[in-house]
Structure formats: C-alpha cells, structure tokens
Amino acid sequence: MSIFSQRISQGGDGYRVAVKDTVDVQGFPTIAGCQALKDTAPAQENADVVNAVLKTGCQLVGKTNLHELAYGMTGVNRWAGTPVNYHYPDLIPGGSSSGSAVAVAAGQADFSIGTDTGGSIRVPAACCGVYGLKPTFGRVSRRGVLPAETTLDCVGVLADSADMLITAMQAIDSAFATTPHLKHIRLGRVDVDADPVISDTLAALLSRSDVEITPVVLPAFAEAFVAGMAVINAETWHACGHLLETGKVGEDVALRLASAAGTTADQLSEAEAVRERFTRQVDQALQQVTALVLPTLPSFPMSLADALAGKTDLSISSLVRPFNLSGHPALSVPLETLDHRPVGLQLVGRKGEDEILCELARLLSEFLPNQNKNSVEY
C-alpha cells in the first residue's frame, strides 16, 4: 500500500500518529523518500514534535512515504512507493506529504504529522479528502526536521475531522488553546483564478453556511506564487543539491534540483520584496475579516496514471504556496464537487490565530454534504 516507509510501535496507548519521513524519530533513519539517503544513520534523538506527541501518550505507528525530498506535488515516488489515494484511487494523492494524508484517510492513523513548504500538507489533504493545517510560520518547532534551514516550511497536522485536527494541534503545541464560540464571523473571499466548477462548489458551501462573505483582492497573489517558487528552489538546492552527485535521486526531482541551482541573487532579492508586499496585503485584508477563504486547488488533481507516466503539475500549488511566503496559518477543509471530485476549501487566518482557523473549519464542516466515496481496500 506504500503508505509507510518504516513501521514503528512506540509510545503510549493514545491516539495513533503517523510521521512524515522528513521528521526524526530516534532509532530510525530519516530517508525523505530518497534512495540517496537510504543508508543514513538512525536519528540519535526525536524531533521536538515527536517528543511532544509522545508526551501526551500518543503512539507512533510509522513513518510515511512522501514525494522525494518533499520536493514535488503529485506524491508519486518510484523508489519508495506511491501511497494510493484511499478515497479517490484513480487520482494522485498529492504531495509532498502524500503518505501522511493517505494514512488518516485510510484509518491507519488518527492523525498524522506532515510538513508544508509550498502546500505540501494542504494539497494532499485536498486531494485525499481530509483536513490539513499549515500553522503560523515558526509556531511549531522544526528542530529535527529536514531541511534544517528554511524560511517557508512548517510542521503541521492532517486528520479526518476538524475535531481531530484540533486534538492533533493540542498534542504538538502545548500553547494551542480551545477557542470559545465565534461570533460575527465574516469571511473574505479571495479573488483567484480557479476552475469554474471549483469556484461554484465553494460558493455553494458558503451559501449554505449563512456566513457573511465579502470580496477580497490581493494584488500580489500571482507574484507571491512565483516568489515562493524562487525561495523554495534556492533553499532546497542549498539543503539537497549535493545529493545529485550520488546519481540516486529520482528523475523528476533531479531535474527540478538541477534547475533550482540556477536561481539567481536577483530573483531572491525580488522574491523578498514580494514577500514583504504580499504579507502586508494579507495582514491588511485580515483586519477587516475573521479569515480569508478560497479554494485549496485551482484545478482538479491529475490522474494517477498521468503522474506515473511522468506528468508533473506544480501549478496545483498556486493557491496555497503564497501563504508559505507570507507565513500565515492556512487550513484545507475537504470539499468535493457534485460529481465527487476532490477540491478543498482553504481558510487563511491572522498570524498566531491558528485556534480560530481550526474553529472556523469545525463550524464549516457542519455544512459539508454527505460525501459518497469509492475507497480502496487494504
């Protein structure tokens, strides 16, 4: 089934937790889905986030497969194995936290830990029909997580319900508090380029919720996607570029890494200017609303067959990646069209107000229609 790269049985008898294989677990190598790292020595200590869940009595059940080096959006991994999308087996699971999303969708874990550098929690959450949260940048410790240096990546959680997502955040962040009942909710719907069917599906859900909606325009949104790509390319090259010398990096990631080597100082300088401008726009928009709302995916996930044939799609992250650049918390709520295709609803909140974002997800989940899904058997 290719969900797990390594099986683990550690901890108490509490919630079952799966951990993305970019996160250190003592006694197990951190392989990141890459053959070039398969002989890595076992981690000498747990990542902070692993210690946090163990402290609450959770049990670790395994390290999950991912798009190699967390550097891709389809979730396909020819060497380590591609987790099969449990509810939508003909579609990609999404990347890079593919195994973490599939583990909770398939009931193999109560919640899972993933990482999100450019949508790597929210995209697989949307593709697999589960909830996924990228917390405020820096809120959850990244000590013991690959890559060690980043201005984009966040440790977050995936779960099969909003309530479990909240429970998961309480497990990994001792400062995460329960939120009182929200009043006077006002959501800012961001004007973005998305498939009309996806936009209509989102509008229908918001209409059922009776939440006040106001339009929001973020002028630097498209620029923020391009800037986010420049930053992730430079930072991933810095962290992983040396692995190309081994000849053991998968073709899709190797090509992308080689291209990333050409990221220029001017591109990074411009990206930082966009980061500042876009962050200011998001902050200003959030002064007027409780949270922003937009689709998680701009288009429907590609077929697994196309992905296995070599097709890639970085544009699937166009609506999520900008918020890695800005550092705002962002959450994907599972949403599907009338013909049962997954798309996702994305909520974006003020920095540090992750609790409010999770409560909004819980409230909106009450208006989700019953979803008839065809699931694979394991």
C-alpha distances out from residue 55 to 25, 28, 114, Å: 14, 19, 19
pLDDT at 377: 47
The Cα 43–Cα 24 span in angstroms is 6
pLDDT tens string 147-156: 999 999 999 9
Which tops the pLDDT comparison, 375 or 224? Answer: 224
Instruction: Please calculate the CA angle 309-317-351 and round it to the nearest 5 degrees.
Output: 155
- What one-letter code names the amino acid at 228? G
Residue 246 lies in a domain: no
Segment 289-308 shows an average pLDDT of: 98
Q: How many of the other CB atoms lie within 10 Å of CB of 299?
A: 17
pLDDT at 181: 79
Segment 177-201 shows an average pLDDT of: 93
Q: Is the pLDDT of residue 19 over 50?
A: yes
pLDDT at 223: 98
pLDDT at 96: 98
Segment 179-205 shows an average pLDDT of: 94
pLDDT at 80: 96
Instruction: Please calculate the CA angle 15-75-317 and round it to the nearest 5 degrees.
Output: 100
Residue 31 lies in a domain: yes
Residues 6+ apart with CB under 8 A from 178: 166, 355
The alpha carbon dihedral of 206, 209, 211, 212 has a sign of positive
Q: What percent of the chain has pLDDT over 90?
A: 94
The Cα 118–Cα 98 span in angstroms is 14
pLDDT at 210: 85
pLDDT at 179: 77
Segment 272-282 shows an average pLDDT of: 98
Residue 137 lies in a domain: yes
Chain mean pLDDT for the chain: 96
C-alpha distances out from residue 80 to 27, 112, 146, Å: 19, 19, 17
pLDDT tens string 315-333: 999 999 999 999 999 999 9
Q: How many C-alpha atoms does 172 have within 13 Å on its Cβ side?
A: 32
Instruction: With cut-offs at 50, 70 and 90, classify the pLDDT of residue 378.
Output: very low
Segment 108-137 shows an average pLDDT of: 98
- Within 84-178, residue ranges assigned H as helices are 98-105, 122-128, 162-172
Residue 233 lies in a domain: no
Residue 375 lies in a domain: no
Residue 252 lies in a domain: no
Residue 53 lies in a domain: yes
CATH of the domain at 44: 3.90.1300.10
How many domains are contained in the chain? 1
Full domain range(s) for residue 92? 4-224+264-365
**Residue 224 — φ and ψ, nearest 5°?**
-65, -35
pLDDT at 1: 56
C-alpha distances out from residue 263 to 230, 248, 269, 322, Å: 7, 23, 11, 18
Residue 107 lies in a domain: yes
CA dihedral 49, 53, 59, 65 (to 10 degrees): -30
Q: Is the pLDDT of residue 375 over 80?
A: no
Q: Is the pLDDT of residue 251 over 60?
A: yes
Instruction: With cut-offs at 50, 70 and 90, classify the pLDDT of residue 183.
Output: confident
